[in-house]
């Protein structure tokens, strides 16, 4: 599994706790529960592999047993191979309620030989419309790749195999809501969305290729677990011991120069949609976070 190194991220002081929960990696039976699909989702290989399947009658999905309020979440996925047009593999974090927070990876299938589209979004207090979309620089169906969400009080970072592809900063100072008060579970599902997923719905799902299957392994969460109205991370005044703790370094991460350059490389070469430059969509002015330097 890809790991984040100090060449990508800087560590800054923050008011953090001494106690960070490290969820054991790879045991899907321990960390997740299958929530729908009537047998189409399976936990295999001594709890180290989870598969979701989709056929003409139903897709399938699972969710984490824990809720998290900040964390570094890693999962390796191998996406539906071949003609995956019309299918969507969603992997995201979300809270509940009408003013929910959400951090999204969605993988939009395509015809054989055409690239997947990686769709990302951030919801805060029920408001989304912050889509950025990317092609990937590899075939995501040939092998497993690591997709990561880093969520701390300053920023949300989306990464692929340790390479940052998107950063959503905390800009509450200029009136942009930021997810910070609602605990989120991890969710994933494989479902049919051929009314919009591939070329705006022009390409439909070829059910002769079903069942479609996506695979998951090497889950890891270095995170604050929320349970019983309390976080496993207790806010304290600055502590030299906590600020130097490697287990809590994700709480203080930001992109260093190398990480910023890699982010720019991805966005220059592989980004295919960015809401922040879509003036036709926002004729009254781009969202505040898009105009902040």
- Active site amino acids: 102, 106
* The three-state (H, E, C) secondary structure of the chain, written as one string: CCCCCCCCEEECCCCCCCCCEEECCCCHHHHEEEEECCCCCEEECCCCEEEEEECCCCCEEEEECCEEEEEEEEEEEECCCCCCCCEEEEEEEECCCCCCCEEEEEEECCCCCCCCEEEEEEEECCECCCCEEECCCCCCCCCCEEEEEEECCCEEEEEECCEEEEEEECCHHHCCCCCCCCCEEEEEEEEECCCCCCHHHCCCCCHHHCCEEEEEEEEEEEEEEEECCEECCCCCCCCHHHHCCHHHHHHHEEECHHHHHHHHHHHHHCEEEEHHHCCCCCCCCCCHHHHCC
Closest CA to 73 of 47, 96, 92: 92
Distance CA 179, CA 104 (A): 13
Length of the chain: 293
Distance CA 63, CA 215 (A): 15
Tokens in use for 6? 């100090």
Closest CA to 149 of 78, 109, 91: 91
């Amino acid at each position: 599994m890809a790991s984040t190194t100090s060449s990508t991220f800087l560590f800054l002081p923050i008011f953090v706790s001494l106690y960070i929960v490290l969820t054991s990696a790879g045991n899907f039976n321990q960390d997740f529960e299958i929530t729908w699909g009537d047998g189409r989702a399976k936990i295999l290989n001594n709890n180290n592999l989870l598969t979701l399947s989709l056929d003409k009658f139903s897709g399938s999905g699972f969710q984490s047993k824990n809720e998290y309020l900040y964390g570094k979440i890693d999962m390796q996925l191998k996406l539906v191979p071949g003609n995956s047009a019309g299918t969507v593999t969603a992997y995201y974090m979300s809270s509940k309620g009408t003013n929910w927070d959400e951090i999204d990876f969605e993988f939009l299938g395509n015809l054989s030989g055409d690239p997947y589209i990686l769709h990302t979004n951030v919801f805060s207090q029920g408001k989304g419309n912050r889509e950025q979309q990317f092609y990937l620089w590899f075939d995501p169906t040939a092998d497993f790749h690591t997709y990561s969400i880093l969520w701390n009080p300053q920023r949300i970072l989306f990464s692929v195999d340790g390479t940052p592809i998107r950063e959503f900063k905390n800009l509450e100072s200029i009136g942009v809501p930021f997810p910070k008060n609602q605990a989120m579970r991890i969710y994933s599902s494989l479902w049919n969305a051929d009314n919009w997923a591939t070329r705006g719905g022009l390409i439909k799902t070829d059910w002769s290729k079903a069942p479609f299957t996506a695979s998951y392994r090497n889950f890891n969460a270095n995170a604050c677990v929320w349970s019983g109205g309390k976080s496993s991370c207790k806010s304290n005044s600055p502590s030299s011991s906590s600020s130097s703790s490697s287990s809590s370094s994700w709480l203080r991460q930001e992109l260093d120069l190398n990480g910023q350059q890699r982010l720019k490389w991805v966005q220059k070469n592989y980004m295919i949609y960015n809401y922040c430059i879509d003036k036709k969509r926002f004729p009254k002015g781009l969202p505040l976070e898009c105009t902040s330097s």
